[in-house]
């Protein structure tokens, strides 16, 4: 489901493609000399690279946040399961003691 947001990868790809298309069009329509055109392309390539690095940093930060949240969820679920396991063990021990008491009582009544 698309909620109107775009992933960082999509934005970076669109930016890079836009930069490449813009550079190509600039070469075709510019009245600049070769060195000037190359300088223009170099500037656009540098801007595209900087934007790509920024997007990569954002993606890395979001991935780190997601990893930390995942760890927290796992730790919480682990604690809940450990508590449930201990409660189950205690209930089993109580039931075992109750049954042993009942068996001993029945044996005593038969004797």
Query: Tens digits of per-residue pLDDT, 88-108?
Result: 999 999 999 999 999 999 988
**Is residue 12 packed enough to be buried (19+ CB in 10 Å), middle (13-18) or exposed (0-12)?**
buried
Residue 2 lies in a domain: no
Per-residue pLDDT tens over the stretch 35-91? 877 787 788 788 878 888 888 888 889 889 999 999 999 999 999 999 999 999 999
Domain total for the chain? 1
Whole domain around residue 89: which residue ranges? 8-110
Query: What is the pTM (predicted TM-score) of this model?
Result: 0.49
Q: Is 4 left (phi over 0), alpha (psi -120 to 50) or beta?
A: left
Question: Is the distance from CB of 40 to CB of 26 less than 8 angstroms?
Answer: yes
Residue 1 lies in a domain: no
């Amino acid at each position: 489901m698309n909620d109107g947001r775009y992933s960082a990868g999509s934005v970076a790809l669109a930016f890079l493609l836009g930069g490449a298309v813009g550079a190509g069009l600039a070469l075709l329509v510019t009245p600049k000399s070769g060195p000037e055109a190359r300088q223009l392309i170099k500037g656009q390539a540098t801007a595209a690279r900087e934007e790509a690095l920024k997007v990569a940093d954002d993606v890395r930060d979001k991935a780190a946040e997601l990893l930390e949240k995942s760890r927290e969820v796992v730790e919480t679920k682990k604690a809940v399961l450990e508590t449930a396991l201990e409660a189950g063990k205690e209930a089993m021990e109580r039931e075992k003691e109750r049954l042993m008491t009942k068996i001993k009582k029945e044996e005593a009544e038969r004797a």
